[in-house]
Structure 1
């Protein structure tokens, strides 16, 4: 049963949002390494006691921003996938749509993208609380791959990954179990797709492809299509990237 928020609780939630907004503004200016409750207090005009009560240490503030970034980017992908699935789009079209959504979020939130996908922040170790939010992106990708598998949209690989299974139980659980042959290594291939997606975004957000290709949005679509071939999924190209 949901318990209505008291005025005190609602006030704390509102104050936390104000503090995090101020912290995100500082994240753009000084980066994660220069962020601290003291900086947020000084630059925002908030009372030291208010900031310290909710975020007493730098890591508390960073964790809140990390969770928000993962949740924000994951939610953007989930909304897009729900719309594509409701429109009965193919798995390949769904994949293209959700990766475009993550790309759009990344360019709209470069500082937050850098926080979760850039260089590690010295001295910061993400706590267990960040795992579930961080899992939203691979969960969307895994759901699309699962739908492609169940819908007969995947082409069997020319060769399976050699050797024993390479997966941790959590990855198998997230996907919903290990498929049988000839798709027994589809989860490993899905992780390759996921890592290719994040690496591609790092290249584009940090301007590593702007001097190599004429149309970065079109190149993004092309790269996703190439990466999807590794799992046997055809991605339709030629549609507007928006």
Structure 2
């Protein structure tokens, strides 16, 4: 028996009931049918378990997006907008199927928990997929130049530039900033749906999501073709 897998599965079941802040080694041991000492032998502290769950969630959601992008681009001529719609839909599907894990990643911070450096590479998979799509669109001439550029000095950290590759020349010199807006808008859309913030205002959640993706992509100059 792989104790780590058993413990993680039990912890994921409890996430929806207790929330991340309510997870304890004792509760997880009880849910897994194990002794607390057995759980502690794999995850000595609650934070170790939260880190493992975070990494799993980042990797699962990132993999779903990467697979959707690969499927959309398999013919070699898929426009970047179609790829973006595919990966956004894939992240939405994962989020709706795993609301507790989505809340762990994108919800309120867990009091007293500070994510270690180990979570950074898995967390980077989502923005890396988006950056790759925007970069491909830029290289293929598929981006529409913005009507207004970001004024003043750069607004982003060097790590964001490294993820994208380099700062493009004008008129796309602010495309990385716009890409971060794209990313944050995508997560915000999902948070509104997962946390039922649009249930009393949106009639068709799926249709509204696609519409919002089209509108959001326009901010980076990307045209999204709907089916």
TM range (shorter): over 0.9
- 2: distance between equivalents of 1:58 and 1:182? 48
Q: Provide structure 2 residue ranges, at least 5 long, that are not aligned to the other structure.
A: none
Q: Displacement of 1:49 after TM fit?
A: 2.1
The residue number in structure 2 matching 1:174 is 163
The residue number in structure 2 matching 1:223 is 212
Q: Displacement of 1:232 after TM fit?
A: 0.6
Q: Find out whether 1:208 has 2:197 as its counterpart.
A: yes
Q: How does 1:63-82 map to 2 (within 5 A)?
A: 63-82=51-70
Q: Deviations over 1:11-66 (max 9, x none)?
A: 6xx22111100110111111101101111112221122221111011100000000
The residue number in structure 2 matching 1:156 is 145
Q: Find out whether 1:112 has 2:101 as its counterpart.
A: yes
- 1: distance between equivalents of 2:36 and 2:112? 23
Q: Displacement of 1:189 after TM fit?
A: 0.1
Q: Is the 8 A contact 1:36 1:61 kept in 2?
A: no
Q: Which runs of structure 1 show a deviation greater than 4 angstroms over 4 or more consecutive aligned residues?
A: none
Q: Find out whether 1:45 has 2:33 as its counterpart.
A: yes
The residue number in structure 2 matching 1:184 is 173
- 2: distance between equivalents of 1:28 and 1:209? 20
Equivalent pairs counted in the alignment come to: 226
Q: How does 1:129-148 map to 2 (within 5 A)?
A: 129-148=118-137
Q: Deviations over 1:197-228 (max 9, x none)?
A: 00010001111112112111010011111011
Q: TM-score, normalised by structure 1?
A: 0.92
Q: Find out whether 1:195 has 2:184 as its counterpart.
A: yes
Q: Provide structure 1 residue ranges, at least 5 long, that are not aligned to the other structure.
A: 1-10
The residue number in structure 2 matching 1:3 is none
Q: Is the 8 A contact 2:182 2:217 kept in 1?
A: yes
C-alpha RMSD of matched pairs (Å): 0.9
- 2: distance between equivalents of 1:43 and 1:151? 52
Q: Displacement of 1:127 after TM fit?
A: 0.6
Q: Find out whether 1:28 has 2:21 as its counterpart.
A: no
Q: TM-score, normalised by structure 2?
A: 0.98
